[in-house]
Structure 1
Amino acid sequence: MSNQIIHRVQHLRELLKHAEATMQSISPLTELYPDLTVEDAYQVQLGAIEQKVQDGQRIVGKKIGLTSAAMQKLLGVDQPDYGHLLDSMAVSNKGTISLNRLFQPKVEGEIAFVLCKDLSGPFVTIEDVLEATDYIAPALEIVDSRITDWKITLTDTVADNASSGLFVIGEERFSLKDIDFPSIKMNLLKNGEVINTGYGSDVLGHPAKCVAWLANKLSQYNVELKAGEVILSGALSAAVAAEKGDQFTAEFSHIGKVEVTFK
């Protein structure tokens, strides 16, 4: 990287770090640097995560975003993106989340893959993912953005750790045996009312295809998916804004449900 790009990447890391520390959202990064590339944005993310690990946090998995055709069209992209999951982001099933720790949270229902083997790209297939998966579980991802009013482009969200916030994994573990992933149905409920519905086929046709994409993408950065990591494979339906007192439940055919409350 040139000195100019190194300086830019460092500046954006500092801006996002300050936003997080002060709970004050910031303008889109692409307004400050209109020519910011996706590769630069990943360097912002990777450096920020590296700093958090040095500060004592632990990487426990990865998340995949922009897996639906609708979201890709909205941001004008033709591929997903990814972010890191840290131990500080985990919330227990049926737990309570204080809105004070979030900017503008939205909730998504997803299928979590927990690995029993490492996965290293660039030639990982759906079959490889299934073989490397210990179990799956229902999950909620609470996406969040340090960018004011969610005015994001692909590069903004990538730099901001793929607009990550928190995540919740159900306690029950489900074997992959006899699971037809594309036909899994998910209802997302807000305060007991079904808000939207999605299917496993809504994320690149198969949730494991999303995990394979991630393993192959990470190989560009000499990173691999590790045994024991949680991989959130992408939202099966649209994200729904969370407000004080809201309870969210994601109910999945075959793999149970997971829930969380905001206070």
Structure 2
Amino acid sequence: MDTSQIQQCGDELYDAWRQRQVLTPLLTRFPDIRVEDAYAIQSRYVARRLQAGERIVGKKIGVTSKPVQDLLGVYEPDFGQLTSGMVCTEADGVSLEGLIQPKAEAELAFVLERDLVGPGITAADVIRATAYVSPCFEIVDSRIKDWKIKIQDTVADNASCGVFLLGDAKGDPRKLDLALAGMVLHRNGALFSTSAGAAVQGSPVNAVVWLANTLGRLGLPFKAGEVILSGSQSQLLAVQNGDELVCRIGGLGACRARFHGKAAL
């Protein structure tokens, strides 16, 4: 893709986000999009949000499970950038008013107390740089019609970022076995799914290692205070007004997300 096409796609995604509308898959219109092009489109889209007054508060890792990688035809995760406009709290819950076709997933968040600059980062480096971990929900959203995405579409669309909510529970990763810690997810009081941290690249720490090194090669360090969403430990779950989700991680605690308002679709 040339620069004008990359800017066009990034601007289209930004406008779709602002207007809560969907686009036909980029890959159907530009069948030669490479993943590298998709990340350039993502940068344009995120830059438009920053120009409008948001700031970067962290990163997210996506496509961490083998079934999803097989579905999209890829063999490594992807990443997106978290902005200040995506932050929700347990106290306020999650408004669906700014979203289009949201789906929730439960995972583990890392909050850094020091910079983490790859490449060459190890699991021990990640643990040392982490202030605490928290259970969290990421509410993914797609500006692509009917979620008909391939890897190029979701990468361009900022890894399908919507909003996220960190639980109030905080744990020391030095005192937790993040690979073996079990997660239980309830929807409106009923058990929805169970899993363990090992579902994410063998351990959520491994996913953060991958991202720190990947971003380091691109000249993008993690900064102290940033949040890293390490990848879903649950199935995607469509959410609507009145839903309540609670995920609980063994040895750590729970995160509660209450949803209100109406998504666009």
User: CA–CA distance in 1 between the matches of 2:259 and 2:74?
Assistant: 32
Partner of 1:117: 114
1:259 aligned to 2:256?
yes
Partner of 2:84: 87
Q: Which runs of 5+ in 2 are unaligned?
A: 261-265
- 1:151-182 CA distance string (max 9 Å, x none): 00001000001000010001222112321111
1:192 aligned to 2:189?
yes
| Structure 1 stretch displaced more, 46-55 or 138-147 | 46-55
Q: Is the 8 A contact 1:9 1:43 kept in 2?
A: yes
User: CA–CA distance in 2 between the matches of 1:177 and 1:226?
Assistant: 20
Partner of 1:181: helix, strand, or coil? coil
Partner of 2:244: 247
Q: Is the 8 A contact 1:105 1:165 kept in 2?
A: yes
C-alpha distance 220-8 of structure 1, shift in aligned 2 (>3 A): farther
- 1:195-224 CA distance string (max 9 Å, x none): 111110000001111111111111232101
Equivalent residue pairs, number: 260
Question: What is the letter of the counterpart of residue 121 of structure 1?
Answer: G
Partner of 1:187: helix, strand, or coil? strand
1:56 aligned to 2:40?
no
Shift of 1:124: 0.9
> What is the percent sequence identity of the aligned residues?
43
User: CA–CA distance in 2 between the matches of 1:259 and 1:122?
Assistant: 35
Q: Is the 8 A contact 2:60 2:228 kept in 1?
A: yes
Aligned Cα root-mean-square deviation (Å): 1.1
Shift of 1:80: 0.2
User: CA–CA distance in 1 between the matches of 2:180 and 2:63?
Assistant: 20
Partner of 2:25: 28
User: CA–CA distance in 2 between the matches of 1:217 and 1:5?
Assistant: 24
Partner of 1:215: 212
Partner of 2:175: helix, strand, or coil? coil
Q: Which runs of 4+ in 1 moved over 6 A?
A: none
1:230 aligned to 2:227?
yes
Q: Is the 8 A contact 2:14 2:49 kept in 1?
A: no
- TM-score norm. by structure 2 comes to 0.95
Q: Is the 8 A contact 2:179 2:198 kept in 1?
A: yes
Partner of 1:95: helix, strand, or coil? coil
Partner of 2:147: 150
Partner of 1:46: 43
Question: What is the letter of the counterpart of residue 34 of structure 1?
Answer: P
User: CA–CA distance in 1 between the matches of 2:185 and 2:70?
Assistant: 22
- 1:88-111 CA distance string (max 9 Å, x none): 101101433232211111111111
